[in-house]
Structure 1
Amino acid sequence: MFSRTLLCLALSMAATPLLADTVWLKNGDRLTGKIKFFDGGKLLLQTEYGGSIPLDWNQIATLESDRQLLIKESAVTGEVAKSLQPAESGKVILANGGAPRTIELASIQQIMKPKPLVEDFTWKGNLDAALDYKRAERDTDDYDIDLKTKARHGLWRHNAEVGYDREYQDGVVATDNWNAEYALDRFLDEHWFWQGRAEYERDRVEDLARQRTLGTGPGYQFWDNELGAFSLAGLLNRTDYQFANGDKSNFYAVSMKWDYNRYLVGKSFEMFSSGEVGKPLANVADYTLEAEVGLRYKVTDWASLHMKAEKDLVSGSEGDLDETHYSLGFGVGW
């Protein structure tokens, strides 16, 4: 009798369809999946049969979802709906436990999953590789690999970066350096956090052979959601230099770091920028700048092409530096 009851329960669970979001189109089609977000005129629907599908918002009649979603009718304010219920064409019903509210689809600017302050473990990142071959009066081969990843659990966020650059000019090594950086963020509330950072750079060609930096300071997370993230951190740093001839020096500096990315056109494109501008407290330089800005195009859910520009600037020192590097490459993301 007990085994028969278990069998009936298993059959009933197997026959029960999994909860899924539903999108009705104006042409009468109905699509099921998981609403990821809506922005820039595109609704991204994650499906088992076609992966991530961007849908034109003007072609959507109404929606249905049993999950909590943040509905923004302006760029500033938003309402977290416990569920979405279908309505007549061009409208949707927001259910929050009280009286349901019907709104026009045209009034919605963004839809996304609300992100709590404390959440389960999340991990994301990109590995980008760029190759540059130049055949002219001077042949140049340049290889550049960059790894950037973030992991978050609760109020803690781990940020790690590793980069390697090697360049040959007429078969002779002209650039050979790598760098690694780790930063730990402790969130104090939804936006404010405190960061500690350690960075190491090794160069086998230039006179400045090793560079170590330790820094700490407050940061502010403006947003971090399905559409991207933007944060600033102000740091007090100590930097140690070791030169190829064995000489050493150190100094303190204040700096501002930024990290920005924004997804566009149903996550087909991503704009990104990160960097740091600093002011040494000693008479080392007037200011320093390390920055990158680029655009990434997703070929598949995990593969992408990117264009990137990098800027290294040191002003006011005995050996001023002003370098700009452009690259086009391939990457993978998760």
Structure 2
Amino acid sequence: MERSPIMRLLSYGLVFVLVLWGSVWADQVVFKNGDRLSGTIESAADGKLVIQSEVAGKVTVNLADVRTFSTDKAIEIHLADGTVLKRKVQFADPNRFAIEPSQTVQSQAFRIADIVAVNPPAKPIPRWTGSISAGLTKTTGNTRTETRSLSINAVRRSENDRISLSMDYARGRQTDTVTGTKRIIEDWWRGRAKYDYFVSKRLYAYGDGRYEKDAIALLDRRVLIGGGAGYQWIETDKTKFRIEVGGASLYERFDNVAEGNSEVSVQLGYNLQRTITKNLDFINDLAYYPSLDSISDYYLTTTAELRASLTPRMFGNVKVIFNYDESPAPGRGSTDVKYILGLGMGF
């Protein structure tokens, strides 16, 4: 049965209204060549604008080719100066866009060239990562020795700052096989806390503190509190490398000296983390503290570690800690080298 002319006219009119309605209630992008694209603006980053169109599907265009645009819903726009806009967008003069006015905010126009991102993904919540490893060395027979060690490292990295915590501990004893007398041959621990605040993507200010004890070296305590500036040269999944320069207050007290010693020193250092192969990592850091009173009087500590993955979370490691103190306790040497073999787990 044929429809009457009036019914056909009403049908065409309804289709026209629906098409017009869809165009009005959709995001609109006007290009510099005069073309238009309707759809939903999904995101923008690195100079590219992504639009989901019902006709063309997902389309990626250059922001440099956009003359102006509008949206039917509020979107989040990040500008180069750090400004974040969360409003509907209206057409504006060429190479610009405007935000919809409200009772408290007037309509304002901005340059399209200043857009850094649109609807960026939510930033991941900073979480702690690190490792815990422990070691046990034991000998029997003509010599009976036993040494235990423990190492903990944890880092929390956000976009603007980084917190680092670490601790190493070892204690060993030797038993005389004839008399049964036990003697401590190793008893030391050290801890460090550090805070970095990034003033740019690579440059940061830092403050840190170290505390050390070593019974065999007659070191009752060594306390270092310092701060300065650092530069993150590389920060990728494979390689991380940074250098630091600053100042520090160093306090040492020895068991066989009546009074402790305090001095102000320069603080220089670096940290390197490098993935050598899929299952092998190398970690190395160094801190150097020359006294301001005499540059030849200095304290230096450096750690080198090879870490081999055994499972996705477990690893075996070999760590060497080298310390040099130009002014040790009387009767003790300046150099201490510690070797640690352990088994650990990452988190």
Q: Partners of 2:173 and 2:47 in 1: how far apart?
A: 55
For 2:173, what is the secondary structure of its paired residue?
strand
For 2:312, what is the secondary structure of its paired residue?
coil
TM-score normalised by L of structure 2: 0.58
Q: Does 1:332 align with 2:345?
A: yes
Q: Mapping of 1:291-330 within 5 angstroms?
A: 291-315=302-326, 320-330=333-343
Identity of aligned residues (%): 19
- 1:143 — aligned with what? 148
- 2:128 — aligned with what? 123
Taking structure 1 as reference, are residues 176 and 273 closer, same or farther at Cα in structure 2, changes over 3 Å only? Answer: same
Taking structure 1 as reference, are residues 156 and 265 closer, same or farther at Cα in structure 2, changes over 3 Å only? Answer: same
Taking structure 1 as reference, are residues 272 and 81 closer, same or farther at Cα in structure 2, changes over 3 Å only? Answer: farther
Q: Partners of 2:252 and 2:234 in 1: how far apart?
A: 35
Q: CA deviation at 1:236?
A: 0.6
Q: Partners of 1:80 and 1:228 in 2: how far apart?
A: 28
Count residues with an aligned counterpart: 230
Q: CA deviation at 1:181?
A: 0.9
Taking structure 1 as reference, are residues 213 and 96 closer, same or farther at Cα in structure 2, changes over 3 Å only? Answer: farther
Q: Which of 263, 267, 275 does residue 251 from structure 1 map onto?
A: 263
Taking structure 1 as reference, are residues 124 and 316 closer, same or farther at Cα in structure 2, changes over 3 Å only? Answer: same
Give yes or no for contact 2:327–2:334 (8 Å, CA) kept in 1: no
- 1:217 — aligned with what? 228
Alignment-mate amino acid for residue 342 of structure 2: G
- 2:174 — aligned with what? 169
Q: Does 1:190 align with 2:193?
A: no
Taking structure 1 as reference, are residues 234 and 139 closer, same or farther at Cα in structure 2, changes over 3 Å only? Answer: farther
Q: Mapping of 1:273-292 within 5 angstroms?
A: 273-283=284-294, 286-292=297-303
- 2:178 — aligned with what? none
Q: Mapping of 1:9-88 within 5 angstroms?
A: none
Deviations 1:136-195 (A, max 9, x none): 754332212111111023312111111111111223112222221111101011111011
Q: Partners of 1:264 and 1:222 in 2: how far apart?
A: 18
Taking structure 1 as reference, are residues 314 and 155 closer, same or farther at Cα in structure 2, changes over 3 Å only? Answer: same
Q: Which has the higher contact order (CA 8 A, sep 6+)?
A: 1
Give yes or no for contact 2:135–2:340 (8 Å, CA) kept in 1: yes
- 1:155 — aligned with what? 160
- 1:270 — aligned with what? 281
Q: Bigger radius of gyration, 1 or 2?
A: 2
Q: Does 1:261 align with 2:261?
A: no
For 2:293, what is the secondary structure of its paired residue?
coil
Q: Partners of 2:293 and 2:233 in 1: how far apart?
A: 32
Give yes or no for contact 2:136–2:146 (8 Å, CA) kept in 1: yes
Q: Partners of 1:195 and 1:310 in 2: how far apart?
A: 23
Alignment-mate amino acid for residue 308 of structure 1: K
Q: CA deviation at 1:288?
A: 2.8
Alignment-mate amino acid for residue 132 of structure 2: L
Q: Partners of 1:213 and 1:311 in 2: how far apart?
A: 17
Q: CA deviation at 1:284?
A: 8.7
Alignment-mate amino acid for residue 332 of structure 1: M
- 1:6 — aligned with what? none
* Structure 2 unpaired stretches of 5+: 1-43, 51-58, 63-120, 176-181
Q: CA deviation at 1:82?
A: 10
Q: Partners of 1:131 and 1:160 in 2: how far apart?
A: 23
